[in-house]
Amino acid sequence: MPADRLEGEVRDRLRELSRSVQMKGFRRGKVPAKVVEQRFGAQVRNEALGEVVRNSFNEAVEQEKLRPASAPNIETRGAAENGELRYTATFEVIPDFGKIDVSTLAVKRVVASVDDGDIDQMIDTLRAQRRSFETVTRGAQANDMVMVETFAIAGDLRVPAENSEIGGTLLGSGMMHPAIEEALAGMTVDEEKTVAVSFAADWRVPELAGKDAQVTVKVTRVAEPTLPALDKAFIESFGVRGGDLAAFRNEVRSNLERELKGALMASLRTEVIDKLVAAHSNVEMPARLVDAEARSLAAQAEKQAAEQGRKGVTVAPDAMKAAAQRRVAAGLLLSEIARQERMVLDGKRLNETMGLIASTYEDPQQVLELYRSDEKLMAGLRTRVMEDQVVEWIADHADVTELPASFSDVMRSGQQSA
């Protein structure tokens, strides 16, 4: 590009700066141009160079009808040669997918609804979460809370080295080793048993992992559950004024339908993206984007491991390459369909999604304010909502087969996927 383009930008910036800069010994707006240039010239030139090159690059990619997949890596001497300023921009471009036809995609769409049985089951679950326990003298049975003292001997190893571990379980919940829970059935307070147990290699107690041991267990308490009555007080505790049962059931239904909608959308999203990416598996994705996504996924996996108490876990980006390839392909394909179909973000849907996210927190208003004040969070949310819009558009135009399912099946499947 012509060198005078940069020189003109530098002069304009220095002139503007001389009108506002404050320097000792000069009044505002009266600093000589040469003094300003001596003091700020290098900084102004670098800023101007960046601006001029950026504008030139944007003009060039528009003229050549190129679509960069990421920011360019720009190299330049920054000095004029023969009246010209040269720079080299290296960047990856978004693949040319051509016209994307989704009508041939064979998509399986799970459909489900909330019925009265689902509401009854959820109310039973809510009652179970607030159950109380009363001590009994009979033998332990399913759903009882059983408090125990235990120690294990594996060869010369005793765990713990002295005394006993104090713990408890809801019989049948699987909180303890199956062999121990089986032994606890029918046991009464102060009864003691020794059980042969084979611990798995990944057992949560490292000293016993992968070992055969003799576990001695002594029952110290057996208590049976008592569910709270489904009365006015119980219903009001969930914020339903007046304790009206019909209103409570409606509230439960609304919550379940909201959860179901999210689970069905997640299921559809996975199905559509799998089919869409597979249909374009021959298209090469930008390598730098894939590498960056792989590093991001590896860092997320390490963070999650640390949060789960598995400190020091390292995840190689190469192990995340396949997942990164899929995510990059999905993002680019969905974005391209939105562009080709001239789709725009649904503002109402964006606000509903933000409200749904906020409703899962103790202080929804605080979460809403956080999103509105954080452009990075909002950008991520806009992308997610736009992608969901595209997913639903694809499902409306693809070869879809509906698969009826129950509410519990959908939610169970979603938990397993997570």
Stated pTM of the model: 0.74
Cα 334 → chain centroid: 18
Whole-number pLDDT of residue 15 = 81
Task: Determine how β-strand 399-404 pairs with β-strand 106-111.
Answer: parallel
Whole-number pLDDT of residue 413 = 82
- Domain ranges within the chain, ordered by starting residue: 3-90, 106-117+241-417, 132-226
Whole-number pLDDT of residue 416 = 62
Q: Chunked in runs of 10, what are the mean pLDDT values of the chain (418 residues)?
A: 85 80 73 78 85 90 90 84 87 92 95 96 94 94 95 93 93 91 95 94 89 95 94 92 92 92 93 95 92 94 86 90 95 95 94 87 89 92 95 96 94 72
CATH architecture, range 132-226: Roll (3.10)
271 and 297 Cβ atoms separated by less than 8 Å: no
* Structure tokens belonging to residue 60: 């060039």
For residue range 357-380, what is the model confidence (pLDDT) as tens digits? 888 888 889 999 999 999 999 999
- Highest CATH level, class, for 3-90: alpha beta
Whole-number pLDDT of residue 88 = 92
> CATH for 106-117+241-417, among 3.30.70.1170, 3.30.56.10, 1.10.3120.10, 3.40.50.261?
1.10.3120.10
Distance from C-alpha of 221 to C-alpha of 216, rounded to nearest angstrom: 16
Distance from C-alpha of 264 to C-alpha of 260, rounded to nearest angstrom: 6
Whole-number pLDDT of residue 289 = 92
Crossing angle of helices 3-20/33-63, nearest 10°? 130
For residue range 175-212, what is the model confidence (pLDDT) as tens digits? 899 999 999 999 999 999 999 999 999 888 889 999 99
Task: Determine how β-strand 192-198 pairs with β-strand 145-154.
Answer: unpaired
Residue type, 85: L
Whole-number pLDDT of residue 126 = 95
Whole-number pLDDT of residue 363 = 87
134 and 223 Cβ atoms separated by less than 8 Å: yes
Find the length of the chain. 418
Whole-number pLDDT of residue 311 = 78
